């Protein structure tokens, strides 16, 4: 007997009507009537019989009613997404891959909110050097957070927020004073951020369309390194708006640059995992909530 027959029997016994059972299960009355015929053959019992203008259950159907209801409810509970029954007792280590600035923005708030309800959870923050690798697919990373332009086809992706890039210089830098024009911006010494050591990017493409180019004097692998360099030398670096810039002055870049989209990605194996859903909810709450506060 397939589960659909049990569902139909439960609906028929509850409604006492072929039409009512059909509406409950979102099917047609003729289809439900055929299903009743199958049930009669399987059970060797009429199940429901005509009594005036309605139907009444047979003694066998009455006997089965509570057992069928219990089996159907157990099946629904078995197939429903499992909740995190006890966050206080949850013992999981989650590997989160993200860039240095985003990690500094996320880590403290995530720990605070997670440990308020799940004190035994551990977070491993991994560098974005794993970008472009099958780390999610292989299970080495539970959640990737950042600019997601390299994920595998099966990967689940959820956009979280968009931000823009700003320029950052030390207070004594010439660009810290006066209006920053395109030519002044291009003429300054620049530091790029690239894990692969690239010396150009979207900024250079936009400048090239205006017949300009900038002078790149160094490339560093992280935003933290670039900001540290800009704090002690007359160089310009770019960083996402909303990032803490201690000891630096920021300015709007005089170019029409594309917005930066931040999202999170995970492998489908974790899609329905209750603890992973809880983790995604926390990341969403921290990053989207923080963005709304800026």
Domain with CATH 3.40.190.10 in the chain: 87-163+261-293, 165-258
* Mean pLDDT score, 255-280: 91
What phi, psi does 271 have (nearest 5°)? -55, -45
Indicate the pTM of the whole model.
0.65
Dihedral sign, Cα of residue 252, residue 256, residue 257, residue 261: positive
Arithmetic mean of pLDDT over the chain: 88
CA distance 241 to 165: 6
* Mean pLDDT score, 254-263: 91
Helix (H, G, I), strand (E, B), or coil: what is residue 51? strand
pLDDT for 292 equals: 45
State yes or no: pLDDT of 37 exceeds 50.
yes
| Residue 254 tokens, joined | 């005089």
Task: Tell whether domain 3-79 is in CATH 1.10.10.10.
Answer: yes
pLDDT for 84 equals: 61
State yes or no: pLDDT of 132 exceeds 80.
no
CA distance 167 to 176: 10
Task: Tell whether domain 165-258 is in CATH 3.40.190.10.
Answer: yes
* Mean pLDDT score, 211-228: 93
* Mean pLDDT score, 215-227: 92
The residue with greater pLDDT, 154 or 242, is 154
State yes or no: pLDDT of 293 exceeds 60.
no
The residue with greater pLDDT, 281 or 102, is 281
State yes or no: pLDDT of 2 exceeds 80.
no
pLDDT confidence band for 168 (50 / 70 / 90): very high
pLDDT tens figures, 93-119 = 999 999 888 888 889 999 999 999 999
pLDDT for 99 equals: 86
| Residue 291 tokens, joined | 């963005």
The CATH fold assigned to 87-163+261-293 is D-Maltodextrin-Binding Protein; domain 2 (3.40.190)
pLDDT for 83 equals: 60
How far is C-alpha 44 from the geometric centre of its chain's CA atoms? 51
State yes or no: pLDDT of 230 exceeds 60.
yes
pLDDT for 291 equals: 53
How far is C-alpha 142 from the geometric centre of its chain's CA atoms? 11
State yes or no: pLDDT of 263 exceeds 80.
yes
pLDDT tens figures, 187-202 = 999 999 988 888 998 8
Q: Which residues contact 179 (CB under 8 A, 6 or more apart)?
A: none
State yes or no: pLDDT of 205 exceeds 50.
yes
* Residue 81 CB-half CA count within 13 A: 11
| Residue 22 tokens, joined | 């059909």
State yes or no: pLDDT of 247 exceeds 70.
yes
pLDDT for 294 equals: 40
pLDDT confidence band for 1 (50 / 70 / 90): low
pLDDT for 149 equals: 76
């Amino acid at each position: 007997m397939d589960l659909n027959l049990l569902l139909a029997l439960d609906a028929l016994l509850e409604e006492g009507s072929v039409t009512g059972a059909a509406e409950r299960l979102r099917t047609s009355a003729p289809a439900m009537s055929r299903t009743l015929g199958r049930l009669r053959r399987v059970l060797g019992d009429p199940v429901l019989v005509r009594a005036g203008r309605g139907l009444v259950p047979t003694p066998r159907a009455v006997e089965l009613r509570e057992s069928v209801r219990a089996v159907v409810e157990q099946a629904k509970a078995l197939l429903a997404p499992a909740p995190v029954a006890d966050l206080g007792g949850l013992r999981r280590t989650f590997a989160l891959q993200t860039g240095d600035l985003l990690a500094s923005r996320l880590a403290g708030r995530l720990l605070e909110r997670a440990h308020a309800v799940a004190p035994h959870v551990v977070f491993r923050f991994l560098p974005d050097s794993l970008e472009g690798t099958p780390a999610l697919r292989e299970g080495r990373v539970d959640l990737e957070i950042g600019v997601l332009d390299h994920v595998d086809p099966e990967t689940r992706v959820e956009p979280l927020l968009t931000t823009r890039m700003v320029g950052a210089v030390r207070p004594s830098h010439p660009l810290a004073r006066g209006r920053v024009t395109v030519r002044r911006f291009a003429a300054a010494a620049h530091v790029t951020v690239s894990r692969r050591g690239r010396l150009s990017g979207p900024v250079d493409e936009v400048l090239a369309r205006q017949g300009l180019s900038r002078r790149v004097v160094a490339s560093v692998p992280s935003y933290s390194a670039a900001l540290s360099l800009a704090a002690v030398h007359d160089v310009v670096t770019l960083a996402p708006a909303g990032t803490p810039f201690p000891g630096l002055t920021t300015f709007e870049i005089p170019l029409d640059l594309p917005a930066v989209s931040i999202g999170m990605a995970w492998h489908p194996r974790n899609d329905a995992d209750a603890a992973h859903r809880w983790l995604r909810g926390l990341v969403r709450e921290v990053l989207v909530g923080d963005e709304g506060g800026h």
